[in-house]
Structure 1
Amino acid sequence: MTVHAARRARLAAQMQPGAVAVLPTAPEVARNSDSDYPYRHDSYFYYLTGFTEPESVLVLVAASGDAPARSILFCREKNLEREIWDGYRYGPEAARTAFGFDEAWPIDALDAQMAKLLANVPVLYYAVGASGALDAQVTGWIKTVRAQARSGVTAPASFQHLLPLLDEMRLVKDQEEQAVMLRAGLISGQAHARAMRAARPGMAEYELEAELLYEFRRNGAQFPAYTSIVASGPNACVLHYNANDRRMQDGELVLIDAGCELDGYASDITRTFPVNGRFTQPQRALYELVLAAQDAAFAAIAPGQPYSAFHEAALHVLTAGMLDLGLIDRARYANADDAIADKAHLPFYMHGTGHWLGMDVHDVGSYRDLAEPGKPSRPLVPGMTLTVEPGIYVRPSEGVPEQFWNIGIRIEDDVVVTEDGYRILTGAAPKTVAEIEALVGKGQA
């Protein structure tokens, strides 16, 4: 059984007996009259199928009594004329064989087949409310089935939201997924190193972005996992800056937040370094503080530890450092805990220390333990994959030492929880002060 078929079986086993689930892939989106935006499949659909063609729908029928579970793919028919223009398409029969489905039908048969598949079915699972088009299509199927009521046919009596089941499945990565994410982290780490070697004062931010994109693609990554951030000088204090059009000045830092997507899985790395290859003393003081906060966060990652623990560890180190460096007025707070309680860190550190990572860069899965009263932070388990990304951002402000103004620093790595702790997936990206100063501006090998 393929990995995707095994996932379909796991999902079907969680459904009510005889229930049906339906999951479409993402639609193509037109860019203009004769071209589309680059196509990217739906992550949930790909997780269960491995199939990347548009105009496709997966249907699962759960086992009931002696009837086994079934997986059914609806996809585009073979069309040799369209293949001349758009490239190869499997067609139902080849897709059924290649991807391990029990049945496959042309996508044009979906409405007629769903009216049959939903007859006398107790529950329909789908992404309720996620797509107006799908909601309307489901309504049409239900009306068709209900119209057969005089013949003794019943329509599903209830609807269940499908995605929460898949969210929990996707949250824990298997060995195959971890291997892909490790490779994605390696490619992205090499891209960050390439950008460091290329950096020079006077370059445009987009020139470093081009170095990243080149390294992603030449190593086989299909896309950037998200819009790359190349933020120099004051732009580094804008968390989601992505114009990438400023000229980088001598003496400034540049913050690069960029990662590739490989075979459907994202990487997510941030590195911050001096454009001229040498940290100033204020830059180095803040950089070492953020690095120490990341180390503290790593130490809090282990099976059984609450998800919130690594953020709390990083926040404590950052806030203590802010007090020591005069960013937060020490006269007002006895210690870091008091400053955190008063949210004194928020002007300089206003985001969490990480997020789930997987097929999407901000991946699915609850951060709370839904089985516990009060929903506390959920415990980590092996296979969970997350980012660790403390930062500090100092905008010009009264009472803030001027030597730190317009310095923005974030350091981000990807981590998978293991049986005995964690494994860093992005170690190929240089990170220490010594590594960075030895590399920046040295040109490509």
Structure 2
Amino acid sequence: MTPDIAPYLERRARLAAQMQPGAVAILATAPETLRNGDSDYPYRHDSYFYYLTGFTEPESVLVLVAAQGDTPVRSVLFCREKNLERETWDGFRYGPDAARTAFGVDEAYPIGELDAQMGKLLADAPALYYALGHSAQLDAQVSGWLKAVRAQGRSGIAAPASAHHLPGILDEMRLLKDGGEQAIMARAAGIAAGAHARAMRFTRPGVFEYEIEAELLHEFRRHGAQFPAYTPIVASGASACVLHYNANNRSCRDGELVLVDAGCEFDGYASDITRTWPVNGRFSEPQKRLYELVLQAQDAAFAAIVPGRPYSDFHDAAVRVLTGGMLDLGLLDKSRYGSVDDAIAAKAHQQFYMHGTGHWLGMDVHDVGPYRDLTQAARPSRPLMPGMALTVEPGIYVRPGEGVPEEYWHIGIRIEDDVVVTQDGCRVLSAAAPKGVAEIEAVMREGA
């Protein structure tokens, strides 16, 4: 299928417009990585590279030359040569000629010509942009190219006088998702939402966590997702209080909850959804009380996601609701803390809620971009803008402890959704994943 190259052309033009006139940007894709023996890990392109090209083959480099005077922006792709023998073993390759047309670059060369061409591309360029210090291999290559250019100094050819960190510019670009990106992310979230519903129907006492994981992965792939966006967490019982648990090897027991954090990657974009449900299909009263508290915290966080408000506001809103609930339910001692504000000031809530309420989402599940306004000396939380995509994931994790009511011991709950900031609030991309108590219990009865 011929890719729609318009978004990539526009992004390259936007990047070039932020570069010094005539400057050169270099962006390499991810390397193939050996797993063991002669087997590689499944290949996944570099997100920055894909953002600017849409090209998914390994051994590829994009060079972008910014406009200068009457000379327009110039894009150059280096990729693997067309090789019918290797395609018999490894599959289709575009080759430079087809790639130039299919991906809208001005020039394309075999990757083997990279060293020779870079000497020409960098000659007399005023500045260089690339991922400084990101790859030892690329740093060494750049150093070699610059030495080769400087060696021509007697001929009046100059090397770039300055180097700039390219990801800093691209991070700001990637933070705002256009309509096409939002549509892909909605598709990824929809697939993952369906997988969570399938996993709920499958769950019953005695199943192993890895069996639930298998249901998720099956549903991801069945609907066209290329990968899980990250290793799924399927944590039953006390394991749900381990934030990054992923052993997924325990038998789920009657009366416990299972916390499932799982998302898929579709066409380069991640979804990230967490749901928590009862193994036997029915929430106990203590489980229900804590679950509905987390649900209320998430609703408060959604309400705080408004363009112009600081990123930190939705976390603060969730913390306020959770802390109030912890005091009301006896998880925190009311006699010790005079108010919700006092408890928050003392960070008392962190005994049961120790993580942030969300993160950027996009090509990477923890997507790029600073959370603070780096243009101001105080580095305040940056304001939200339409097109930003993020997760909203409050939780509560109750381990046994002195003064902690035993009815809540070993209960871990997280509820996570994917949202995009709109002109007047936010749109929940993952709303199809069952979430309310009654809704979850009804879905689980369908699989009984």
Same fold (TM over 0.5): yes
Does 1:45 find its partner at 2:60?
no
Task: Give the counterpart of 2:88 among 84, 87, 95.
Answer: 84
Q: Please identify, of 426-435 and 145-154, the stretch whose mean Cα deviation from structure 2 is larger.
A: 145-154
Q: Please identify, of 30-39 and 420-429, the stretch whose mean Cα deviation from structure 2 is larger.
A: 30-39
In the TM superposition, residue 441 of structure 1 has moved relative to its aligned partner by: 5.0
Task: Show the 5 A alignment for 1:229-248.
Answer: 229-248=233-252
Q: Distance in 1 between matches of 2:340 and 2:425?
A: 27
Does 1:181 find its partner at 2:185?
yes
> Quick one: which amino acid aligns to residue 84 of structure 2?
L
Task: Give the counterpart of 2:256 among 252, 259, 268.
Answer: 252
In the TM superposition, residue 399 of structure 1 has moved relative to its aligned partner by: 1.2
Does 1:365 find its partner at 2:379?
no
Q: Distance in 1 between matches of 2:425 and 2:350?
A: 29
Q: Distance in 2 between matches of 1:379 and 1:34?
A: 48
> Quick one: which amino acid aligns to residue 140 of structure 1?
G
> Quick one: which amino acid aligns to residue 53 of structure 1?
E
In the TM superposition, residue 371 of structure 1 has moved relative to its aligned partner by: 2.2
Does 1:332 find its partner at 2:336?
yes
Does 1:66 find its partner at 2:67?
no
Corresponding position of 1:275:
279
Q: Identity over the aligned pairs, expressed in percent? A: 75
- TM-score between both structures, scaled by the size of structure 2: 0.98
Secondary structure of the residue aligned to 2:349 is: coil
Corresponding position of 1:415:
419
Corresponding position of 1:378:
382
CA contact (8 A) 1:275 1:440 kept: no
Secondary structure of the residue aligned to 1:117 is: helix
CA contact (8 A) 1:199 1:441 kept: no
Secondary structure of the residue aligned to 1:346 is: helix
Task: Give the counterpart of 1:200 among 196, 199, 204.
Answer: 204
Task: Give the counterpart of 2:313 among 309, 330, 348.
Answer: 309
In the TM superposition, residue 153 of structure 1 has moved relative to its aligned partner by: 1.1
In the TM superposition, residue 81 of structure 1 has moved relative to its aligned partner by: 0.1
Secondary structure of the residue aligned to 2:234 is: strand
Does 1:103 find its partner at 2:110?
no
Runs of 5+ in structure 2 lacking a partner? none
In the TM superposition, residue 151 of structure 1 has moved relative to its aligned partner by: 1.2
Does 1:122 find its partner at 2:126?
yes
Task: Give the counterpart of 1:353 among 338, 350, 357.
Answer: 357
Structure 1 vs Structure 2 CA RMSD: 0.8
Q: Distance in 1 between matches of 2:234 and 2:70?
A: 58
Does 1:321 find its partner at 2:325?
yes
CA contact (8 A) 1:272 1:410 kept: yes
Does 1:166 find its partner at 2:170?
yes
Task: Show the 5 A alignment for 1:18-57.
Answer: 18-57=22-61
Secondary structure of the residue aligned to 1:440 is: helix
Task: Give the counterpart of 2:148 among 144, 164, 169.
Answer: 144
CA contact (8 A) 1:198 1:441 kept: no
Deviations 1:104-144 (A, max 9, x none): 00000001100111111111100000011110010000110
Secondary structure of the residue aligned to 1:399 is: coil
Secondary structure of the residue aligned to 2:143 is: helix
Q: Distance in 1 between matches of 2:249 and 2:265?
A: 23
Corresponding position of 1:436:
440
Aligned length: 444
- TM-score between both structures, scaled by the size of structure 1: 0.99
> Quick one: which amino acid aligns to residue 383 of structure 2?
P
In the TM superposition, residue 372 of structure 1 has moved relative to its aligned partner by: 2.5
Runs of 5+ in structure 1 lacking a partner? none
In the TM superposition, residue 34 of structure 1 has moved relative to its aligned partner by: 2.0
> Quick one: which amino acid aligns to residue 208 of structure 2?
A
CA contact (8 A) 1:294 1:411 kept: yes
CA contact (8 A) 1:200 1:441 kept: no
Q: Distance in 2 between matches of 1:191 and 1:31?
A: 28
CA contact (8 A) 1:196 1:441 kept: no
Secondary structure of the residue aligned to 2:446 is: coil
Q: Distance in 1 between matches of 2:369 and 2:36?
A: 35
Does 1:11 find its partner at 2:15?
yes
